[in-house]
Structure 1
Amino acid sequence: MVIRLPKWFLLCICAFFLSQGNKVVDNLFEYSKNIEIFTALYKELGTNYVDEIEPGKLMKTGIDAMLKSLDPYTNFFTEYQAEEALIEKQGQYGGVGCRIMLRNHYPVVNFIEEGYAFNNADVRLGDIITSINGISLKDKSTDQLLSMVRGAPNTSFSIEIDREGKSIQKQITRMAIKTASVSFSGMYQGDIAYVKLEEFGQHAADEIETSLKKMMEKTELKGVILDLRDNGGGLLNEAVQIVGLFVGENRSIVTLRGQNVTGPKNWITPNKALLPNTPLVVLVNEHSASASEVVSGSLQDMDRAVIMGQTSFGKGLVQNYASLPYRTQMKLTVAKYYTPSGRCIQRLQYGDRDENGVAKTMSTAQKKAFKTQGGRTVYEGGGIDPDVALKPYQGLEILKWLEQENIVFDWANQQYNMLPDTLFQAISDQQFAQFSQYAVKKSQTKLQEKLHKSMASMYSDTQFLQQISGLKINSDQVNTKVKADLIKQKSSIVLALNRAMMERKLKKNRFHPAWLLLDLESKEAAQLLHEPARYQSLLK
């Protein structure tokens, strides 16, 4: 079979050359030579390879591998994936209101949006979706699953779920879903405005402004807590406008630098300040990234807010979407962004990799120092370091293990499914003891699985693997270690268990206020806002 390069691929090449101008001329021979080699290779495979080849699949594999060598944010989208990306960007679509993770070959529900299809049908966290309309979901990709659950509002489909070993059939009716960026806002401790921003979607700045205005009508605000923990970013223009709410118009927030940046290179606040002088604390953690770091980094550089929490993720790269032929699309990294002090907070240096192909990070000695507007020292190359560093309960090694291996998640699901209609009650000593027994047993099992999986990846000798299949970890040592860590970190683990049960037992409008009463980081932020002298000293 003779295969030809897809027309869209050739058009992409032509468009690339035309758009690059003089930059490509210097490397014209290299580009031309490699395209010629690639074309010949592709043709040779189609003509002489022993088995029949799927041209589109082969090309997609090659493109994905090529882009992966650059950075994880530069991606090619098929026609369907491009449509899904547009839907996500617009924040409105017909679906079921959930997120899933893949475990043991099947999708598992790990988030349900209140008021939407899955929630209305009593689909629960931890439910394993085994089939849709009778089609098994074993080893199906996330894209394949999305294509089955999304569709026109008011259309239906059937699902089969596995809940604690019991098979359950459900009929699901799709609904029009519109995602909000602000998941909760309200008064905290009487005089502090608290705003939880989940993402920087369309209208995120308007949502924050509306929330703050409502709270300003109730009382004179002593301060604002902007919670960006676990916020992975979103639209840059929304981030710039959010900063504008606190610093006013015509302030430079972020500068883009790249080989061929199109559009604005210097992003300026377009809006007037809503709260130009009100004390502000921004909460961040290791999952706060991209647009979250634009907001926290620029506010830090302008000495306008105290950043509190843990060092942020460190994503200082900017992506744009490029339309390609046949309704395909590409998201590509076009620039690095720099905060007002002139620093780039990108942590991983994808252009500098070790012998295993892993992107390096800057050493402390390599990081340049920069100055904020008031003369404080800040550093490049490692995310946003908080002005007030807090030890996170998620940062404890035992709790990281419990959450990474879904032990807290699975236990909370089990507890909820036993008594779904009871009211939330704080975790008791008896429940903690029960969880400890559960965690010890699960940890031992998971470590055993990891041992065998690791050995299997290292050795291909089937006979040897059979010989070591009986290899066991020292269960007594594991049990002793896990038990000791659980007891040592009891308060933090109880806090995580309380949150997990609250997420299952309480509706959204009750969950956030209840969690704020327990959240130690929000309490620290509020305490700082109630101490004006200490707050001001941190900005000098």
Structure 2
Amino acid sequence: MKHLRKLTLAAVCMIGVGFFAFRPDERFFEIARNLDIYATLFKELNRYYVDEINPNRLTKMSIESMLKNLDPYTNFYAEDEIEDYRTMTTGQYTGIGAIITTNKGKNIIYSILEGSPAEKAGLHIGDEIVKIDGVDLTTRKDANPDKLMKGQANSTVKLAVRRVGSPSLLEMNVTREFVKTGNVPYYGMLTDEVGYIDLKDFNQTAAREVKTALVELKGKGMKKLVLDVRENPGGLLDQAVLICNLFIPKDAEVVSNRGKVTEWNKTYTAPMAPVDTEIPLVVLVNGRSASASEIVSGVIQDYDRGVLIGQRTYGKGLVQTTRDLSYNTKLKVTVAKYYIPSGRCIQAIDYSHRNDDGSVGKIPDSLKVAFKTRNGRTVYDGGGVEPDVPTELVSRTSIVNSLNSKGLFFDYALKYRADHPTVKPAKEFELSDTDYQGFVNWLKDKEYDYTTQVEKDLSELEASAKKEKYFDAVQEQFKALKTKLTHSKDTDLAMFKKDIKQVLEREIVSHVYLQKGEREFVFRTDPEVKAALDLFKDMPRYDKILKGTK
């Protein structure tokens, strides 16, 4: 079987494909037959198609199309993508630590990592990269700025930068370094006794970073902990196991894998002595907490080790492994489902049974099974991890979404920073009413519009009334209602001032104080953090939740 797997992958990649002799088994014969058809078709296309074809591009497209019919996590990495793959799994690359995005045809620095060469050199979020080592990005549209930024450690890259408020181009020499994208962008004390760790990824150093933060916060007098895995897409399984191990006893079961290749099935247990099995713990989760972050939150819940606060997690209970292919290419393939200590699998989408149109659906409630935590609380499989204390997902208003999608918060933050050389610390920063009016005035000649949910609902109601022949009878009422409910930008800028101001303040803070400053600013209004602090003030309620007697 191992031989067949290697042979099939090599054939799919069109490397030395021909007719292969397999055992006289129908399945093996079908595989060989279809691979031979594919190889023959590819040769004929290459020989007779009217235009020259690019074999690398065509093969990659065909592989990706094939994998698309499986699940979103089974992926092919071509040779020129291997560096990106390494960055994803290790969180490390050689460069300057700036993320560049294209905005209105310009290459703009969208994010800067703290402590990176970009920050040390004095680059700002919003700077336009005009030239990289003499390559003019305004004329060389084919140039890839990300690749030009990368290079050997300790080598220098020369940048020409256009900055808002600066009359001329700025010339900068930036020394490339090994850049590490941290798994824990922030940790600190929320109160005198409540600590906070923000866990955003699970690459090779995740457990070490969490342990370092945990030990340091305990040294500062931390008595209770908030672990935040919101927006965490997951990563390496072994790191999830080690992070769970920080809070549960050695040898406790963490997670087990079960798949078609039975020799790969394995149960993972906590391999080391924990750091703290008693500290009161809250884990923050949301709909973008997936995979490894669901293992951590699910294990904490299954052992009644802490309370989960937020929204239901994504529901990715699938395990991937990476297989090396020929010519330095790789296949990341789903090989198993994982099961946490209660016995449940939290996979929410059934990729094995597709609809006629190729779409997939959620696992219906009727097929979900109840399981028990250590204390006997009921939990369910097949739908992500349900929080113990659910909170409402904060939705943005239509005007906020429009201003954000048009990049107007980002653009005004650039102007604000250029006009204000010094900005108050993140924890204290707040725009005055005069500052806000300045933003409103700046928007007057900017293009942005939106349709509110009320307007959408009214349009649907009008369409239904016309379809069912009621519209003529209520036409005047509809007209009057539409007049009253049609949005006015000026009215909305005043009505939703609090929401708009908050988003704008956060944008400005993130430009000046980067990730840590943004996190400190958000604490003021974060509903899940507030719920965690409220729960820690009521420890009898905390205990009742874990005992299932809330």
- Give the shorter-chain TM-score range: 0.7 to 0.9
For residues 489 and 345 of structure 2, the distance between their equivalents in structure 1, rounded to whole angstroms, comes to: 40
Question: Which piece of structure 1 moves more, 164-173 or 414-423?
Answer: 164-173
Task: Report how far residue 164 of structure 1 moved.
Answer: 5.1
Closer, same or farther in 2 for the Cα pair 1:412/1:330, shift >3 Å?
same
Cα distance change on mapping 1:253 and 1:106 into 2, 3 Å: farther
Verify the 8 A CA contact 2:185 2:516 in the aligned structure 1: no
Q: Which residue of 2 aligns with 1:175?
A: 177
SS in structure 2 of the partner of residue 38 of structure 1: helix
What one-letter code is carried by the residue in structure 2 that aligns with 1:181?
A: N
Whether the 8 Å CA contact 2:307–2:542 is kept in 1: the answer is yes
8 Å CA contact 1:8–1:326 kept in 2: the answer is no
Determine the C-alpha separation between the residues in 1 that align with 2:491 and 2:348.
Answer: 35
Write the deviation string for residues 503-536 of structure 1: whole angstroms up to 9, x where unpaired: 1223666554454344343232122112111111
The separation in 2 between residues aligned to 1:304 and 1:394, in whole angstroms, is: 30
Task: Give, as a single letter, the amino acid of the residue that structure 2 aligns with 1:345.
Answer: I
Cα RMSD between the aligned structures? 3.6
The unaligned stretches of length 5 or more in structure 1 are: 1-5, 448-474
Task: State the partner residue of 1:114.
Answer: 114
Does the residue aligned with 1:360 lie in a helix, a strand or coil?
coil
In the alignment, does 2:154 pair up with 1:147? no
Deviation (angstroms), 1:354: 4.5
Deviation at 1:224, TM superposition (A): 0.7
**For the residues of structure 2 that align with 1:209 and 1:323, how far apart are their CA atoms?**
32
Aligned mates of 2:155, 2:266 — CA distance in 1: 44
> In the superposition, relative to structure 1, how do residues 321 and 131 fare at CA in structure 2: closer, same or farther (>3 Å)?
farther
Distance in 2 separating the partners of 1:380 and 1:401 = 37
- 1:180, CA displacement in angstroms? 2.6
Aligned to 1:300: 301
SS at 2:487 equivalent: helix
Matches within 5 A, 1:2-401: 9-10=10-11, 25-104=25-104, 107-132=107-132, 133-136=134-137, 144-161=144-161, 163=163, 168-171=169-172, 172-219=174-221, 221-260=222-261, 263=264, 265-354=266-355, 356-393=357-394, 399-401=400-402
Distance 1:479 1:300, change over 3 A: same
Q: Is 1:533 paired with 2:514?
A: no
CA distance in 1, matches of 2:317, 2:140: 34
Instruction: Provide the rounded CA distance (Å) in 2 between the counterparts of 1:440 and 1:360.
Output: 45
Pick from 422, 426, 433: which aligns with 2:430? Answer: 426
Change (3 A) 1:375 1:505: same
Deviations 1:155-193 (A, max 9, x none): 223344555597735433312212332222222210112
The one-letter code of the counterpart of 2:273 is K
Which one is further off, 251-260 or 321-330? 251-260
Task: Report if the CA contact (8 A) 2:254-2:269 is conserved.
Answer: yes
Opposite residue 213 of structure 1, the aligned amino acid is V
Q: Unpaired segments of 5 or more residues in structure 2?
A: 1-6, 452-481
When normalised by structure 1's length, the TM-score is 0.82
Tell me, in whole angstroms, the C-alpha distance in 1 between the residues paired with 2:375 and 2:444. Answer: 51
Residue 67 of structure 2 contacts residue 74 of structure 2 at CA under 8 Å; is this kept in 1? yes
* 1:438 CA drift (Å): 5.9
Paired residues of 1:353 and 1:359 also in contact (CA < 8 A): yes
